[in-house]
């Protein structure tokens, strides 16, 4: 698999990443092992997890699998901290919480360091300087090799990166930002993506298949074994089942027919090769599903198909993004 640099850093990662959101919850150890081995054998390196996935279970499972199944040195392990499973508070960017969370992640992962440590969300109640100083401490101590963020808005990303550049005693720079990005969700193109491009920060899209909708599985009905049929996850899928989404999914299906590939291939290739994108993060319930995503490696969309998909999925941006002077 092709390797790409994460932003303006020396860290190289596979241009498709493996997500572990369902590990130790919907994906058991056997299926997770099959996925990890399949990913590694295909040349994949970037494995993304978080301390709150299955309440730490995903990290623990990944740690078990790197003990004997896949060499730790062959993986770029990315994890996150800052989200809190507490009804009273959803995030905690304090130095106390972050560094304690990192130590707990390392113990579950069975490793001395993570390759990429990401702030899982922006904490409006903790001074940003305190949060970023904790990140710098983690990198300076060797517990994290690179740092990134997830679900930061454009101004939050720019503020964090600018503060790091301006602070004389801070050496750590943001390497990546993880955000939802797909043909059904192009919101990051408004501010986040331009900021990341300008700052040299690599983008790691999550939900690159539009929460599964871009595979075409929901075109005619909701499969009984899908997220859309799950009582817990149906609200997660529902926003992408409207008429606007249907037109995009139909266009993807037409493009797939013309290229003799699947809608999954078209949707994933589109986001993988967007400017600023380093590696979309894909999740799968089975190794078979993962193989389908990994087989996109040889596909590059023809310019005319890419432009057609750009047009049919174009988000509506007016003031102050463009054409505002004529409104």
- All structural domains of the chain, each given as residue ranges with its CATH number in brackets, are 3-210+270-302 (3.20.20.100)
The token pair that represents 192 in the structure block: 């986040």
Average pLDDT of the chain to the nearest whole number: 93
The Cα–Cα gap between 70 and 67 comes to 7
N-term to C-term CA, the chain:
47
Nearest one of 192, 203, 178 to 321, comparing CA atoms: 192
The conformational region for residue 260 under phi > 0 = left, psi -120 to 50 = alpha, else beta, is left
The three-point CA angle 70-140-89 to 5° equals 80
Residue pointed to by tokens 């389908």 = 292
pLDDT tens sequence for the chain (327 residues): 999 999 999 999 999 999 999 999 989 999 999 999 999 999 999 999 999 999 999 999 999 999 889 999 999 999 999 999 777 778 999 999 999 999 999 999 999 999 999 999 999 999 999 999 999 999 999 999 999 999 999 999 999 999 999 998 899 999 999 999 999 999 999 999 999 999 999 999 999 999 999 999 988 777 777 777 677 778 888 899 999 999 999 999 999 999 999 999 999 999 999 999 999 999 998 899 999 999 999 999 999 999 999 999 999 876 776 655 544
Residue pointed to by tokens 């993570």 = 114
- Of the candidates 53, 146, 218, 240, the residue annotated as catalytic is 53
Residue 125 designated active-site: no
Instruction: Confirm if 19 and 283 have CB atoms less than 8 A apart.
Output: yes
Report the relative pairing of strands 3-5 and 281-282 from DSSP bridges. unpaired
């Amino acid at each position: 698999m092709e390797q790409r640099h994460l932003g303006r850093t020396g860290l190289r990662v596979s241009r498709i990443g493996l997500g572990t959101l369902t590990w130790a919850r919907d994906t058991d150890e056997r299926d997770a092992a099959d996925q990890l081995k399949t990913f590694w054998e295909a040349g994949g390196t970037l494995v993304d997890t978080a301390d709150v996935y299955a309440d730490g279970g995903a990290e623990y499972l990944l740690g078990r699998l790197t003990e004997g199944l896949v060499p730790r040195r062959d993986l770029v392990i990315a994890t996150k901290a800052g989200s809190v499973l507490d009804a009273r508070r959803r995030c905690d960017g304090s130095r106390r919480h972050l560094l304690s969370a990192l130590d707990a992640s390392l113990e579950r992962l069975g490793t001395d360091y993570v390759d990429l440590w990401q702030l899982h969300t922006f904490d409006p109640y903790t001074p940003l300087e305190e949060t970023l100083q904790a990140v710098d401490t983690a990198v300076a101590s060797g517990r994290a090799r690179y740092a990134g963020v997830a679900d930061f808005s454009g101004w939050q990303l720019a503020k964090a990166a600018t503060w790091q550049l301006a602070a004389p005693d801070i050496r750590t720079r943001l390497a990546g930002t993880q955000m939802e990005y797909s043909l059904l969700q192009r919101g990051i193109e408004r501010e986040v993506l331009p900021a990341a491009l300008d700052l040299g920060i690599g983008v790691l899209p999550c939900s690159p298949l539009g929460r599964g909708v871009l595979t075409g599985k929901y075109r005619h009905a909701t499969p009984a074994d899908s997220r859309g049929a799950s009582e817990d996850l149906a609200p997660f899928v529902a926003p992408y089942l409207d008429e606007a989404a249907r037109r995009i999914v139909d266009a993807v299906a037409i493009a797939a027919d013309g290229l003799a590939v699947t809608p999954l291939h078209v949707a994933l290739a589109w986001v993988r090769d967007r400017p600023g994108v380093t590696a979309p993060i894909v999740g799968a319930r089975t190794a078979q599903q993962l193989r389908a995503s990994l087989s996109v490696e040889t596909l590059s969309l023809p310019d005319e198909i890419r432009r057609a998909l750009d047009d049919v999925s174009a988000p509506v941006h007016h003031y102050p993004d463009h054409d505002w002077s004529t409104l």
